[in-house]
Amino acid sequence: MIGAGAAGLMAAGRAAERGHRVVIFEKNNTAGRKIRLTGNGRCNVTNVSDMETFISNIPGNGRFLYSSLNLFSNRNVMDFFREMGLQLKVERDNRVFPESDSAEDVVDVLLKYAKMHNVEFMFNSRVDEILAENGNVTGIRLCSGEIWKLDAVIVATGGVSYPGTGSTGDGHRMAEKLGHTIIPLKPSLVPLNVKENWARELQGLSLKNAAVKLFDKKGRILFSDSGEMMFTHFGVTGPLILKASRHFSVSGCRSAFLAVDLMPGLTAEELDKRIQNDLSKFSRKMFKNFLDELLPNLLVPVIVRLSGIPPEKPSNQVTREERQQIVSLLKNLTLEITGCRSFNEAIVTAGGVSVREINPKTMESRLIRGLYFAGEVMDVDAYTGGFNLTIAFSTGYTAGNSV
């Protein structure tokens, strides 16, 4: 077993539970470093959505995971942790957290599971190469030069997001050396940089209910959804933007455009009537002041400036054309996306070992017998909400159950 993260610990525990002698080789001096960071330290272990909804939240090869999720589903994940003594709670959007709000407790359960079945841990042990002969795994070579003869190897080294936790692409390098195809690695669930300077003036502004469309320079829509987003000193972030970032990242586009509907609950016609009423109600106010009732304070001066309407113009003198310009801005506030933030800020990695070369029912390599994969090292990735950790647990369990 290479890697003591979520997938590795689950795989090791399950394989050992079935009677195998299991050794985990981990380059760090402790297990579960990335787990401890997830959910801002609270650890969103899974999501209680139905299977179809669950798969729809996995844009990166979700269908490949049907078999593993049927074997060890989100419900099984919850049962596992509860049976191991960890109480859970369900929050907004069906996200499941430990009642303690502690990711440390999740790691403790996984370690307990591994240790109760006598899994051995080799910390500070970085694997350099997986050894194989005649299409069969024969063992591994550590960076120290030490060779271990093994009947099977499960690779659960993660992606390359949060490299400080040890996810530096070791598994991809070793798999590629054995002939596996590595789908190009891209940061996913990551904040986005924007071109417009005015966006930086909105730093800290959170929009609780915005609708966005991400489209390329040819006008093709890459992503469309609604939710919560936030402006930052470099661009935009928040749950909605993290979802959008996945589609921008894998599109290969150097730049794209993000159209933000600030008033998704109103049609353009309804918004126009609302603005007409406000202009009439505050007819003695200057234009720069009448938007206070409609928009957050930080946003008002930006919209005023972008509209091109003189700020001191009396509200009762705003023309129909100018009113339409305000409606257009509020329903279609557009930013140019210039790129993703780095892997240091990405929650997950898109890309990895091609799933076409992995048996979905067992997680075994189709190229090398005795070689298995689990978790983020594969070309599978999901949105936020507990889906990615479930993928790790499910594929880890499947690999450990099949080895």
Residue 251 CA to residue 245 CA, distance in Å, equals 10
Measure the CA–CA gap between 202 and 268, rounded to whole angstroms: 24
133-182 confidence digits (pLDDT tens): 999 999 999 999 999 999 999 999 999 987 877 788 999 999 999 999 99
For the chain, domain boundaries: 6-185+349-402, 191-341
Superfamily of domain 6-185+349-402: FAD/NAD(P)-binding domain (3.50.50.60)
What's the pTM? 0.93
CATH superfamily to which 191-341 belongs: rRNA adenine dimethylase, C-terminal domain (1.10.8.100)
CA separation for the pair 210, 243 (Å, rounded): 13
Which pLDDT tens digit goes with each residue over 79-129?
Answer: 999 999 999 999 999 999 999 999 999 999 999 999 999 999 999 999 999
CB 224 within 8 A of CB 213: yes
Q: What whole-number distance in Å separates Cα of residue 213 and Cα of residue 220?
A: 10
Residue 116: predicted pLDDT: 97
User: How does pLDDT run across 32-57, given as a tens digit for each residue?
Assistant: 999 999 988 999 999 999 999 999 99
DSSP-assigned letter for residue 134: T
Phi-psi region for residue 329, left (φ > 0), alpha (ψ -120 to 50) or beta? alpha
